[in-house]
Amino acid sequence: MEAEDRAYRFLDRHVAPVLTTVTQTALGVSYIQIHFNQVVMPLVSFSEADRKVCRTSILSLIQWTTEAIEKSLNGVANGFIIQCEKALMHEQKRSDFRPRFVHVGTGVGSNGSNTTTNNNNSVGNSNNNSNKGNKNVNAKNTVNNNSNSNNVTTDATAAAAAAANAEALAALSEAEAKFLEKNTQACIIVVEMLRAMGHKAKQITSESNRASFLVDIGTTMCATLTNHMQQFTFSQLGAMRWKGDLSAYTAALRGWGLSQLQGPVERLSDISGLLLVAPEQLPSLINSTLRMAPREAMKFVKLREDFSTTKIDGKSLQEILNIDSGFDSFMSMGIPDTGVTQGNGGRRR
């Protein structure tokens, strides 16, 4: 409730007045157009020169008003994105995605970072001596993508991944399970901002202006979240929490009901799968599902806490995913580098 009140206070002060002015201005122009067609044009119907002057004047007025409205909406959107960025920067903590839990009797942290993955074991059992460490590595390698909508596992492995999720969750301690129940504070604040913006934007009576305004904010927000993600290192548990945050962000954006945002939202969800899947599933995810350039994929794979410690056939991820040497052998499917279209860096023009 506090985050919701905070969001509406900001929008009531900085957004609503501008949207109201934009709406009233657009309505005023429409009245002027009606008056021009019904009153002015009949009065100058006998003079072609006068009609030309009047048409030029009304067109200039409409153009000037349109540009002013667009400039105002851009300013509002910029201010909104900056406020969301501030919330992410000040409220997000590194411990949100790299928590440490000590289990009584084992002394093993929940992240199980000292792991070695066996390429012949599809659920990714660890070579650690600690039973708790084994559970956590299994959780890391079996929690691939809990949502069917993200499509980061193939049909052949989807059933096995779903069955393994129960084991992964069972490996969590009570403290860890509680940790995952709630979104991070940064997420809660930004989600309320997005919901409030969707509500306030209804003041814009022009459907095209409203859609353009929200699509611009939505696509920029997806780029902002992609950049924000790259500021952190994610443990197994942290990746699961980021996935929960991401579900809240995307649900808020989808709540605007704009099909134009479907692509950016799905792309953001797909990229987050690089933090969740078992190491041996990274090639198919990168090459088949994401069709992502190797260099681009490395930006996100490096965010995994196990990036430099996990072993596949005796090689670390850093060795295997090296785009100058081992990457080509790892990407055995032979799909060419298609590149990735980037966003605008998380900030509007």
- Please report, for residues 12, 60, 72, 77, the alpha-carbon distance to residue 68 in angstroms, rounded to integers and kept in the order given: 21, 12, 6, 14
| Better-predicted residue by pLDDT, 205 or 231 | 231
pLDDT at 1: 72
* 336: three-class secondary structure by DSSP: coil
User: Residue 316 pairs with which residues in a beta bridge?
Assistant: 311
Average pLDDT over residues 290-298: 81
Q: pTM higher than 0.75 for the full model?
A: no
Q: What is the rounded distance in angstroms from the CA atom of residue 272 to the CA atom of residue 288?
A: 15
Q: Model confidence over 301-336: pLDDT tens digits?
A: 999 998 888 887 887 776 766 554 444 444 444 444
Domain ranges of the chain: 75-349
First vs last C-alpha separation in the chain: 32
Q: Model confidence over 233-243: pLDDT tens digits?
A: 999 999 999 99
pLDDT at 154: 45
Q: What is the rounded distance in angstroms from the CA atom of residue 147 to the CA atom of residue 25?
A: 45
Report residue 105's pLDDT band, with 50, 70 and 90 as the boundaries: very low
CATH fold of the domain at 75-349: Methane Monooxygenase Hydroxylase; Chain G, domain 1 (1.20.58)
pLDDT at 168: 55
* Token code pair at residue 246: 């991401």
What is the rounded (10 degree) CA torsion for 164, 169, 172, 173?
A: -140
Across the chain, mean pLDDT equals 78
Q: 260 Cβ partners below 8 Å, 6+ apart?
A: 211, 215, 218, 219
- Token pair 């129960």 is at which residue? 166
Report residue 167's pLDDT band, with 50, 70 and 90 as the boundaries: low
